[in-house]
Structure 1
Amino acid sequence: MKMTMPEQNTAEATTQTAAAAKPKISAHGVSVFYGDKKAIDDVSIDVHTRYVTAFIGPSGCGKSTFLRSLNRMNDTIASARVEGEILLDGEDIYRSRMDVVQLRARVGMVFQKPNPFPKSIYENIAYGPRIHGLASSKAEMDRIVEESLQRAGLWEEVKDRLADSGTALSGGQQQRLCIARAIAVDPEVILMDEPCSALDPIATARIEELIDELRGRYAIVIVTHSMQQAARVSQRTAFFHMGKMVEYGKTSDIFTNPREERTKDYITGRYG
């Protein structure tokens, strides 16, 4: 029997709600070692689409190390070893048959320091889609480049100089270019490792606005030293201390009514 339009809309909304309720990434008992040193100890957390999840904590607490484990960036460090289980849509990303190149297309990363390729603005965006065969024609590639720059809030600023070098942009523009580059391969998750730490307040505000716009489409995880930034941009917050995840929950609860004394001490500035 064919559904009416209201019934169809209700069914679609139910499906979307169910998808949002199911974790995009689930980490279970994850520990990360650098040689004999344990940097992360037994962390379990769920990351959901349509949420920004912030990792906060003092320097050296392991939050960036854990972030890098979510798309196997720690594989690039010879002494690094990961124990436990990290699932992306229920699939173990550390299984031997996992295509790490495809994994990093699905789980993109934006680093602390903007790192555009020494190529044109256009080629910075086109590089990933070309590698992954996402465009079958020049017109299709043009569309991907334009859409990615538009989503990153950069199109109007650069549309007349796509042939210019990406390294010639300002710091804030370079970071938005890197975000555009990450989303050009149509990822499902975006990891951001202190994306605003090298930017001025105006550029930081632009990136924060962008994060808020993007969260409706992706699962976003951000490492930040700024508790104010975590409070502004995230819906979920995890507090790390000395390699352990001390507390995880709604951002409003973490900042106004933390369960753990260590969280309260950090939030109130007693240490960190």
Structure 2
Amino acid sequence: MAEYDTETVVHEEMTLRNDAKMTARDVSVFYGQKQAVRSVSIDVDSHYVTAFIGPSGCGKSTFLRCFNRMNDTIDIARVEGDIDLDGRDIYDPKMDVVQLRARVGMVFQKPNPFPKSIYENIAYGPRIHGLAESKTDMDRIVETSLQRAGLWNEVKDRLDESGTALSGGQQQRLCIARAIAVDPEVILMDEPCSALDPIATAKVEELIDELQGRYAIVIVTHNMQQAARVSQRTAFFHLGHLVEYGPTDEIFTNPKADRTRDYITGRFG
């Protein structure tokens, strides 16, 4: 592999701002003595889908999990730097992590519906957060969430059936509907289509396109074609570094960093 200047980061036409939905500044992540993410700064805008791409083990999923403090669940993980949501430090000791994860939802690589009915999968979050005052309110939240996830017409007559009985693609859309149900501001997606067949993948990608602008969305994907299809901003990670960040079409057609160009053209990955 070619030698690269690991300190060079290219922000193509992307000026770091203070008015982005979420901002990360000089974020590093350690697992014990091993450093997985190295001083990353990036903005997440409400108006765009942002894709994180890069080879396996490059730190993109680890960095994604910083945005709703999922790394807190790993005893040996340590996060340094600053991440703000609407200007507030999410690692402030006074931050309510449960409320944070309601505002910054997460969809995982493998669909993980609760072993409950389809209805209860959606109702669980709004119930514990007190978002519905009546059964009518809850019914509305469930229907709206399933509609936004493109699943309502497929399950409206079987809401009492188990969510685990759905197909893999339907389960993933159910998990997206579950995240939407608590009225988040940001949705994080960690390789949401990697376990799905092409038809289910296409439906999830259509859903991401429909949700764009309603939520700030960040997706980690190993599929560069998917990143090109669904995102408007792309960040390329390599060996724990953010190498290049900019408009998706520019990253894929005219990358500025040699490492980005080599990855995009298949020289490594």
TM-score range normalised by the length of the shorter chain: over 0.9
2:188 maps to 1:191: yes
Partners of 2:247 and 2:124 lie apart in 1 by 37
> Could you say which residue in structure 1 is the equivalent of 2:10?
none
Residue 58 (structure 2) aligns with: 61
Secondary structure of the residue that 1:78 maps to in structure 2?
coil
1:251 to 220, 229, 248: 248
In structure 1, distance between residues paired with 2:91 and 2:19: 20
Amino acid at match of 1:262: R
1:236 aligns with 2:228: no
Distance in 1, matches of 2:163 and 2:256, equals 45
User: Alpha-carbon deviation of 1:226?
Assistant: 0.3
Query: Is this contact kept in 2: 1:116–1:177, CA < 8 A?
Result: yes
Match of 2:136 in 1: 139
Measured against aligned partners, the alpha-carbon deviations of 1:169-195 in whole angstroms (never above 9, x if no partner) come to: 000000000000000000000000000
Q: Aligned to 1:87, what secondary structure does the other structure show?
A: strand
Structure ranking higher in helix proportion? 1
Alignment of 1:1-272 (within 5 A): 22-272=19-269
Residue of structure 1 in register with 2:7 after alignment: none
TM-score normalized by the length of structure 2 = 0.93
Q: Deviations 1:81-112 (Å, cap 9, x if unpaired)?
A: 00000000000000110000000000000000
User: How many residues are aligned here?
Assistant: 253
Report deviation, 1:22.
2.8
- In structure 1, the partner of 2:4 is none
Structure 1 CA distance, aligned partners of 2:172 and 2:19? Answer: 30
- Determine the C-alpha separation between the residues in 2 that align with 1:89 and 1:33: 25
1:50 deviation in Å? 1.8
Q: Normalization by structure 1: what TM-score?
A: 0.92
Letter aligned with residue 227 of structure 2? A
The SS at the match of 2:237 is: strand
Q: Which runs of 5+ in 2 are unaligned?
A: 1-16
Query: What is the CA distance between 1:21 and its match in structure 2?
Result: 9.4
Aligned residues: CA RMSD: 1.0
Distance change (3 Å), C-alpha of 1:184 and 1:255: same
SS in 2 for 1:119: coil
Aligned structure 1 segments of 4 or more residues deviating by more than 4 angstroms:
none
What is the percentage of aligned positions where both structures have the same residue? Answer: 81
How many Å separate the matches in 2 of 1:21 and 1:99?
22
- Rounded to whole Å, the distance in 2 between the matches of 1:118 and 1:200 is 23
For residue 149 of structure 1, give the secondary structure of its aligned residue in structure 2. Answer: helix
**1:85 aligns to what SS in structure 2?**
strand
After superposition, give the CA deviation of every residue in 1:238-257 in whole Å (9 maximum; x if it has no partner). Answer: 00000000000000000000
Give the secondary structure class of the aligned counterpart of 1:222: strand
Provide the rounded CA distance (Å) in 2 between the counterparts of 1:220 and 1:203. 19
Q: How far apart are 1:216 and its partner, in Å?
A: 1.8
Structure 1 counterpart SS, 2:56: coil
8 Å CA contact retained: 1:126, 1:184: yes
1:109-157 Cα deviation digits (max 9, x unpaired): 0000000000000000000000000000000000000000000000000
Equivalent residue letter for 1:184: A
- Partner residue, 1:5: none
